[in-house]
Amino acid sequence: GKGGTGVTRRIRLLMLVLAVVIVALGTGLIKLNLDTTQDTGDSKTTQPAGREGYYIFQDDDTGLYGVRNENDRVLVDAEWNSLSFSGEQTLLVSRRTGGALRYGMIQINENVRIPFAYSSITPLTGQILAAVTAEDEKTILYNTEGQQLLSQAWDSCVAEDGVLRLMSGTAQYTAEVSGSTIRMTAVTMRTVLAGEPLYFSFDAEDLAGVESYTVLAQLAQLSHQYLKAMLRQDYSDVYSITAADSYSAVIDEHRMQNRYFTSMTLLDTEWDESDPVLRYACTFRFCYRLKTDSGVVPQASNLILRMRRDADGLLLLYSVEEQPVDMQTGQVIMDSTKGADEQSSGRKYE
């Protein structure tokens, strides 16, 4: 009757609603599965963490990687041996060149940000990458967007608790890191003089007024060059000293052949930008043992090396001044035979 027909219609309507719900649930589950892993017949796709809308896929035939968007449109062709996101729109990728893997960085539009000249590129901190050159195994620092940080290549780089330690030759640079900003705080250069290890150390205060942190290592290198020549009594290799004969007075007067250096520290670094030529003055404190007729006596002195830049930008040593220092007080020893002006300046050789 009519009552039976009404019940039948209600049952059919309920079944239709249930069918719609089941189809909707099934579609949602399929979409959820595709958001994480898709099998499109020729590739497998994964979504990297924090990269909504981007999917890294691997081609089943070649095994190479590319990037798709959520609409399955290929943004980066599958031609990379490895691929991972670096910055917002940048990717660290590798490809095989001449049988060897070479690493670089590209943008989503495939513009190259870091050239493919590296045997590895790895995170050094959260926003700083260490790229090791394939040619000479030097390390160059980049941020996650592919911009080079600092101006030179390093022998090694270590990061720990927000501090970078960078080695270049015999110089170690210490820097503080905030994001991708690097602030140099110290430079220490180790060398050997007369069989004894010597350290040239510059701290943040010394670094503050120098136009480039690399200048400090150059100052240390030039100072070391002079000191070696002074001990050997041979200035033929000191390219930057003019009228080198005038420096023989330092050796003769202070009996350099009887000195045995024990330590050296940097007391002060000054620069003069008012002069048309930028000038530097480094004052070092030397502690050494002096061989005398009565035995070996501990001694100390200040050695002031003055340098300037030439037209080609090279540092040249143009003046040397030595001031004997009292071992007890650390003060410069005054010579009673000299006038006040001469005492304050110490011995000077130009």
Q: What is the SS3 assignment for the chain?
A: CHHHHHHHHHHHHHHHHHHHHHHHHHHHHHHHHHHHEEECCCEEEECCCCCCCEEEEEECCCCCEEEEECCCCEEEEEEECEEEECCCCEEEEEEEECCEEEEEEEECCCCEEEEEEEEEEEECCCCEEEEEECCCCCEEEEECCCCEEEEEEECEEEEECCEEEEEECCEEEEEEEECCEEEEEEEEEEEEECCEEEEEEEEHHHHCCCCCHHHHHHHHHHHHHHHHHHHHCCCCCCCCCCCHHHHHHHHHHHCHHHEEEEEEEEEEEEEECCCCCCEEEEEEEEEEEEEECCEEEEEEEEEEEEEEECCCCCEEEEEEEEEEECCCCCCECCCCCCCHHHHHHCEEEC
Q: Which residues lie across from 82 on neighbouring strands? A: 94
Mean pLDDT for all residues in the chain: 75
Long-range contacts of 303-309 (CB under 8 A, 24+ apart): 304/346, 305/222, 305/223, 305/226, 305/281, 306/279, 306/280, 306/281, 307/219, 307/222, 307/240, 307/279, 307/280, 307/281, 307/282, 308/277, 308/278, 308/279, 308/280, 309/277, 309/278
pLDDT at 318: 75
How much is the pTM?
0.62
pLDDT at 245: 35
Using alpha carbons, select from 285, 289, 284 the residue that is nearest to residue 256: 289
- Give the C-alpha separation, 278 to 247, whole Å: 23
pLDDT at 239: 46
pLDDT for residue 2 is more than 80? no
- Give the C-alpha separation, 25 to 69, whole Å: 24
pLDDT for residue 336 is more than 60? no
CA distances from residue 202 to 97, 106, 152, 188, 267 in whole angstroms, order as listed: 43, 38, 19, 6, 9
In percent, how much of the chain has pLDDT > 70? 65
- Cβ neighbors of 178 (< 8 A, separation 6 or more) are 162
pLDDT in tens, 109-165: 889 999 999 999 999 998 999 999 999 999 999 999 999 998 889 999 999 888 999
CA angle 204/210/211 to nearest 5° reads 130
**What does the pLDDT average to over 335-345?**
42
Q: How confident is the model at residue 187 (pLDDT cuts 50, 70, 90)?
A: confident
pLDDT at 186: 82
pLDDT in tens, 82-105: 999 998 889 999 999 888 999 999
Q: How confident is the model at residue 39 (pLDDT cuts 50, 70, 90)?
A: very low
Q: How confident is the model at residue 238 (pLDDT cuts 50, 70, 90)?
A: low
pLDDT at 143: 94
Sign (positive or negative) of CA dihedral 234, 226, 173, 106: negative
pLDDT for residue 295 is more than 80? yes
pLDDT at 276: 65
pLDDT in tens, 241-274: 443 333 333 333 334 557 776 776 777 777 776 6
pLDDT at 273: 67
